[in-house]
Amino acid sequence: MNEPNKEYLKLIKEKMPKTKHFSTIVRAFIIGGLICCIGEALNDIYGLIFKTLSEDEIKSIVTITIILITAILTSFGIYDKIGNFGGAGSIIPITGFANAVVSPAIEHKKEGIILGLCSNMFKIAGPIIVVGITSSICVGIFVLFFKGAF
């Protein structure tokens, strides 16, 4: 078994360039904030157009619109540039999730619809769904026992 060379690993930490945290955080804040502002703006516009719909319904339409825009931007090769600039700012909003589903779908279409596109579509987003469902079950059980569901 190969023993790690601790001195060398220390040297790497000293010598190799590090991520510039300040500029990446600022860029993430700008891009993330911008995406959320677009969402809010859409929310207000839809509120004026569809006066009969409830607030929850309007929120759903806003989410769907944002997902659609991201899917289109991804397929034209624009969203990866936004992501490269904005980092976590472009990953955390729903746009990041949409991009994570659409990009492998485009990439694996060449291996066929079923075995390529369908089986690889959730390659990146799959863990997010698993964690989401698992944690919601845990919260559900917690609520059932401690707050009384009925």
Number of residues that bind other proteins (CB under 8 A): 40
**For residues 25-64, which are near other proteins according to CB under 8 A?**
none
Per CB under 8 A, 128 contacts other proteins:
no
Euclidean distance between CA atoms 36 and 69, whole angstroms: 13
- DSSP codes joined into one string, 42-57: HHHHHHHH-TTS-HHH
Euclidean distance between CA atoms 62 and 34, whole angstroms: 15
Instruction: Write down the least CB distance from residue 129 to other proteins, Å.
Output: 17
**Which two three-digit tokens encode residue 56?**
């929850």
For other proteins, the closer of residues 60 and 75 by Cβ is 75
**Which two three-digit tokens encode residue 46?**
């839809």
Stretch that binds other proteins, among 35-43, 83-91, 128-136, 142-150 (CB under 8 A): 83-91
- Cβ atoms 122, 129 nearer than 8 A: yes
Per CB under 8 A, residues contacting other proteins are 2-6, 8-9, 11-12, 15-20, 24, 74-75, 77, 79-84, 86-87, 90-91, 96, 99-100, 102-104, 106-108, 110, 124
